[in-house]
Amino acid sequence: MDYRCAHRWAFPRWGAALEPHEDRLEAPAGREVTVRVTHCGICHSDLHIQQGGFDMGGGKLSSLERAGAALPVTMGHEIGGEVVEVGPEVADVKVGDRVVVYPWLGCGTCPTCEAGDDHLCNRGARNLGIQLPGGYADLVRVPHERYLVPIGGLDPARAATFACAGITAYGAISKLPEAGPEDWIAVIGCGGVGMTAVALLSALSKAKVVAVDPDPVKRETAQRYGAALAVDPGAADAARTIVKASGNNVLGAVDFVGAESSSTLATALVRRGGKVVIVGLFGGEFRTPVPMFPLKAMTVQGSYVAGLNELRELVALAQRVTLPEIPLTMRPMSEVNRSLEDLAAGRVVGRVVLQP
Ligand SMILES: [Zn+2]
Ligand SMILES: [Zn+2]
């Protein structure tokens, strides 16, 4: 295989289907690394990236073009693979290492990035799969070796999904208050990320989990991964059912949808002193009566993917304890367009992982 020629699936216009592209790569410089992609998970945010932005409510769209993305865009930010070429200054990884790639890159040099919080960098994003070419390709160039996390004996397909679904779920539940066995946590939206949160909470938290999703298959899957209760948010009495079943003890609600209806449900569910963590980027506006904040002494916090350190923690955790596993569907990378369509239509349970 020629490690200087990347075969990528990229869209040439916002909203267009992905097409095969061929790109020459220079020899890796400094601490750059080339990774041969063996697995790349498909994420729901790819649908937004493909459209060029996120729905900010009131008909407004955030612009990825203003955020530094340039056409053609090669998506794919859940990248697992093997190191095949390293720059002359690379010291900590070597050719042949099996890695998951941290994709949420910032400028790489500011104090925020140096602390491992690249995802919160204010100086300009260089995310793999948005601004820089991502993993819908056979090769990926990573700007610095520190963004590679060795996976040891972990299943590489599963480890790839840690880079977004895994750390997004892990970063969100890490923000929840300490919960006891009498407490409940609501997980709203049980796609790949929400289902991972259900699985992680079942393994790590003492609280009982209520899964909320309109799809009966996803509700049933969530219960197999440890949810004590699963509720259809479309049911007329959904909020009342959950509050009653928990004894009005929902300490935290994580909204993996991020729509007006889901955030309204989340704030309605939590008890006094509770916390809502908003993760999803479906879009819309947050509408909650202002007096609810003081009257419930409620906290609302946003959570956006997570840092490099959290990816390292999650990989270490997965090596130490057996985490319940969300279903993965493997497909050849040539089926990327069909897979994105299936995801848009809600036909995916768990995660689709592509292989070049
Ligand atoms: Zn993602
Ligand atoms: Zn930075």
Question: With helix as H, strand as E and coil as C, how does the chain read?
Answer: CCCCEEEEEEECCCCCCCEEEEEECCCCCCCCEEEEEEEEECCCHHHHHHHCCCEEECCEECCCCCCCCCCCECCCCEEEEEEEEECCCCCCCCCCCEEEECCCCCCCCCHHHHCCCHHHCCCCCCCECCCECCCCECEEEECCHHHEEECCCCCHHHHHHHHHHHHHHHHHHCCCCCCCCCCEEEEECCCHHHHHHHHHHHHHCCCEEEEECCCHHHHHHHHHCCCCEEECCCCCCHHHHHHHHCCCCEEEEEECCCEHHHHHHHHHHCCCCCEEEECCCCECCCCCCCCHHHHHCCEEEECCCCCHHHHHHHHHHHHHCCCCCCCEEEEEHHHHHHHHHHHHCCCCCCEEEEEC
Residue 326: the pLDDT is 79
Summarize the confidence of residues 167-195 as an average pLDDT. 95
Residue 120 confidence class, pLDDT cut points 50, 70, 90: very high
Summarize the confidence of residues 169-177 as an average pLDDT. 96
pLDDT at 255 over 80: yes
Residue 297: the pLDDT is 97
Ligand 1 centre distance from Cα of residue 182 (Å): 32
Ligand 2 centre distance from Cα of residue 106 (Å): 5
Ligand 1 centre distance from Cα of residue 44 (Å): 6
Q: What is the pLDDT of residues 184-224, one digit of tens each?
A: 999 999 988 899 899 999 989 999 999 999 999 999 999 99
Greater confidence (346 vs 324) lies with 346
**Rounded distance between C-alpha atoms, residue 299 and residue 277, angstroms:** 8
Residue 227: the pLDDT is 97
Residue 192: the pLDDT is 82
- pLDDT exceeding 90 applies to what percent of the chain? 87
Nearest ligand to residue 109 Cα: 2
Ligand 1 centre distance from Cα of residue 327 (Å): 16
Identity of the amino acid at 176: L
Q: What is the pLDDT of residues 76-117, one digit of tens each?
A: 999 999 999 999 999 999 999 999 999 999 999 999 999 999
Ligand 1 centre distance from Cα of residue 211 (Å): 20
Identity of the amino acid at 283: G
Nearest ligand to residue 114 Cα: 2
* Structure token pair of residue 173: 């539940």
Nearest ligand to residue 281 Cα: 1
Nearest ligand to residue 304 Cα: 1
Residues whose CB is under 5 A from ligand 2 (ion)? Answer: 106-107, 110, 113, 121, 123
Ligand 2 centre distance from Cα of residue 160 (Å): 24
Residue 56 confidence class, pLDDT cut points 50, 70, 90: confident
Q: Which residue has the tokens 């459209």?
A: 51
Nearest ligand to residue 125 Cα: 2
pLDDT at 347 over 80: yes
Residue 327 confidence class, pLDDT cut points 50, 70, 90: confident
Ligand 2 centre distance from Cα of residue 218 (Å): 38
Ligand 1 centre distance from Cα of residue 293 (Å): 30
